[in-house]
């Protein structure tokens, strides 16, 4: 267990370092920098002032030198200041991360629960009408773009019927209950995720239900519920767990469009605004946090294998 943890932590640190350099370099190659923005805001700025500012902020240094300075400061806990909001990056990041976790965790739990139920129901009734209906629903939600779903929900529930807010966050002078602001973005994320998960669960359950141990359980006279839940579902969960664990990290990083559309003040919207505003420090740290979530999802998937099947060690090999 200790060897596994050390190896995965070492790999996680290496990937984060590599990712941070790549993101830093890509952001540095974007047209314009903070000094250019200052020049555009103040036409009376003299060229010698611009030169001094570039030297102070290190913008005139090569990428690797600027990255080394940023990394040294980050390792000491200083992630810099946001150019747009004039505050330390962590003061902005932590509330946004909390809002995103509320949204994505709620959507994740609902989509996984419904996908497990629908996928299992379709596999048990393979080839029947209910299987075809569930498969049709899964293909429909997979095919529909997320931004179109969001726009349709805003039109129907906010514009047409006026029962839910079109977007934003709960306020002290709010017209709706706080939970109402969560419904539309959460529903959009659920429908985006549920189609693919349902198909994965159905496929894994069909394969598990065709194994010899399932026929043996039926021959012993066990009930259908016991066969599905105690035997088939437990073994089918091993490949499904990879999709579920990695899915949360991807859901966290993929909520940018939904948060921007619904005005949800989370990580996705923060990433969009920081990139559009050339806020280097904020964009870099936000992207690193989403990378960290995907890597943690991979580690959770590995640990879950040994829990679901004790024959599988943490190294990935059967004991």
pLDDT digits (tens, 9 = 90+) for 161-177: 988 888 888 775 667 77
- pLDDT of residue 122 exceeding 90, the answer is yes
Across residues 204-222, what is the average pLDDT? 88
Q: Which of 151-155, 179-183, 231-235, 245-249 has the lowest mean pLDDT?
A: 245-249
Buried b (16+ CB within 10 A) or exposed e, 105-130: ebbbebbbebbbebbbbbbbeeeeee
- pLDDT of residue 102 exceeding 80, the answer is yes
Q: Which domains does the chain have, with CATH numbers?
A: 2-75 (no CATH), 89-308 (1.10.3720.10)
- Phi then psi dihedrals of residue 81, to 5 deg: -110, 150
Distance CA 296, CA 298 (A): 5
Could you read off the pLDDT of 174-208 as tens digits, one per residue?
A: 677 778 888 999 999 999 889 989 999 999 999 98
- pLDDT of residue 54 exceeding 70, the answer is no
Across residues 142-160, what is the average pLDDT? 90
Split at pLDDT 50, 70, 90, the class of 315 is: low
pLDDT of 68 reads 86
- pLDDT of residue 94 exceeding 60, the answer is yes
Across residues 244-267, what is the average pLDDT? 79
Q: Is the pTM higher than 0.95?
A: no
Split at pLDDT 50, 70, 90, the class of 219 is: confident
């Amino acid at each position: 267990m200790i060897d596994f943890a050390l190896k995965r932590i070492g790999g996680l640190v290496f990937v984060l370092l590599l990712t941070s350099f790549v993101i830093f370099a890509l952001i540095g190659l974007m047209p314009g920098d903070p000094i250019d923005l200052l020049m555009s805001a103040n036409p009376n700025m003299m060229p010698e002032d611009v030169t001094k500012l570039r030297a102070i902020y290190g913008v005139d240094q090569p990428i690797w030198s600027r990255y080394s300075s940023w990394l040294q400061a980050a390792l000491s806990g200083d992630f810099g200041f946001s150019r747009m909001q004039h505050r330390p990056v962590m003061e902005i990041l932590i509330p946004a991360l909390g809002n995103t976790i509320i949204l994505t965790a709620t959507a994740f739990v609902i989509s996984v629960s419904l996908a497990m139920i629908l996928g299992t129901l379709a596999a048990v009734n393979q080839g029947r009408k209910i299987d075809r209906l569930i498969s049709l629903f899964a293909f429909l939600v997979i095919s529909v773009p997320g931004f179109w779903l969001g726009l349709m929900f805003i039109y129907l529930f906010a514009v047409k019927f006026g029962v839910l807010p079109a977007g934003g966050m709960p306020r002290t002078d709010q017209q709706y209950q706080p939970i109402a602001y969560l419904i539309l973005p959460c529903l959009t994320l659920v429908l985006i995720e549920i189609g693919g998960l349902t198909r994965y669960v159905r496929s894994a359950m069909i394969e598990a239900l065709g194994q010899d141990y399932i026929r043996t359980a039926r021959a012993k006279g066990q009930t259908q519920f016991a066969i599905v839940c105690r035997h088939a579902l437990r073994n089918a969960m091993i490949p499904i767990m990879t999709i579920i664990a990695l899915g949360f990290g991807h859901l966290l990083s993929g909520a940018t469009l939904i948060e921007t559309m619904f005005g949800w003040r989370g990580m996705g919207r923060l990433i969009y605004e920081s990139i559009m505003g050339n806020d280097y420090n904020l964009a870099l740290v936000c992207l690193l946090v989403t990378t960290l979530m995907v890597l943690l999802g991979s580690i959770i998937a590995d640990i879950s294998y040994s829990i679901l099947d004790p024959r599988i060690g943490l190294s990935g090999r059967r004991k």
